[in-house]
């Protein structure tokens, strides 16, 4: 949008896509926002499905994500444990949903679920109300601005937490749904690549950890590895 305001072609956009975006800004209570966009709140485009799971009701081996598994300032969730390792209530999440660390939100732990699984109740599961808004939801909830906001409205002295009710009130500016859909396509392409790389890396690690000891011990030979992988379905 700044490119258009300066008379330049936006990078990476064709003319038809660029035409969807305004070429100027307008004043608002949030400051300058793109002309024609409106003010709203995070709760207008996202919700918090609280799918509680009791201990012992989750299938063994189900991926489990706790705050310790989540890196700071990175949406790539590359590590997780197993549900049976934690004997407490959990929340269920689905692949692609956004996990937001609500305990001590200043740690800035926000990421995209690579697979279905369960998570700690210290994590909020967020999803877009429609697929068109997914890109904007992820952009807003992973920003420094919302982390600062959630830190300011969290309650508790030693263990501050933010709740969804307060997160939902976070003020944002919203475009036409056609623009939101374009943004979503760009974001989803990147998210899909990140998730594919994480899963592929996990598969390669499993193959390495399975084959290496057997190769070193002489249990199998290099020329037999393909057959071994087929038999073990790795």
Residue 198 burial class via C-beta count within 10 angstroms: exposed 0-12, middle 13-18, buried 19 and up: middle
pLDDT tens for each residue of 178-229: 999 999 999 999 999 999 999 888 777 777 877 777 777 777 776 767 766 6
- The mean per-residue pLDDT over the stretch 60-70 comes to 94
Residue 54 lies in a domain: yes
User: Which CATH number is 159's domain given?
Assistant: 3.90.220.20
Q: Strands 63-65 and 117-119, how do they pair?
A: parallel
One domain for residues 69 and 9: no
Q: State the pLDDT at residue 6.
A: 62
Q: Please give the model's pTM, rounded to 2 decimal places.
A: 0.85
Task: Give the Cα separation of 23 and 6 in Å (integer).
Answer: 8
Express each pLDDT in 125-162 by its tens digit. 999 999 999 999 999 999 999 999 999 999 998 899 99
pLDDT of residue 234 exceeding 60? no
Which of 155, 175, 195 lies at the terminal end of a domain, its last residue? 175
Say whether both 67 and 50 belong to one domain. Answer: yes
Q: What's the whole-number mean pLDDT along residues 167-173?
A: 97
User: Residue 21 pLDDT more than 90?
Assistant: no
Please state, for a pLDDT cut of 70, what percent of the chain lies above it.
90
Q: What is the largest CA-CA distance in the chain?
A: 72
* pLDDT at residue number 47: 97
Residue 30 belongs to a domain? yes
- Number of domains the chain is built from: 2
Average pLDDT over residues 85-90: 87
């Amino acid at each position: 949008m700044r490119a258009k305001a300066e008379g330049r072609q936006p990078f990476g956009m064709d003319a038809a896509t660029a035409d969807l975006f305004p070429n100027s800004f307008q004043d608002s209570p949030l400051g300058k926002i793109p002309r024609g966009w409106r003010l709203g709140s995070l709760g207008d485009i996202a919700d918090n499905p609280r799918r509680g799971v009791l201990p012992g009701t989750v299938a063994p081996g189900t991926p489990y994500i706790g705050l310790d598994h989540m890196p700071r300032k990175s949406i790539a969730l590359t590590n997780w444990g197993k549900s049976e390792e934690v004997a407490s209530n959990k929340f269920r999440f689905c692949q692609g949903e956004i996990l937001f660390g609500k305990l001590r939100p200043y740690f800035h732990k926000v990421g995209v679920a690579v697979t279905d699984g369960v998570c700690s109740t210290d994590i909020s599961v967020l999803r877009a109300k429609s697929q068109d808004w997914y890109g904007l939801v992820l952009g807003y909830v992973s920003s420094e601005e919302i982390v600062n906001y959630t830190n300011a409205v969290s309650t508790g002295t030693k263990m501050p937490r933010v709740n969804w009710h307060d997160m939902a009130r976070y003020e944002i500016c919203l475009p036409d749904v056609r623009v939101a859909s374009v943004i979503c396509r760009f974001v989803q392409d990147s998210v899909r690549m990140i998730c594919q790389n994480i899963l592929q890396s996990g598969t390669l690690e499993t193959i390495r950890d399975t084959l290496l000891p057997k190769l070193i011990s002489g249990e199998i030979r290099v020329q037999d590895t393909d057959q071994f992988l087929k038999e073990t379905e790795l």
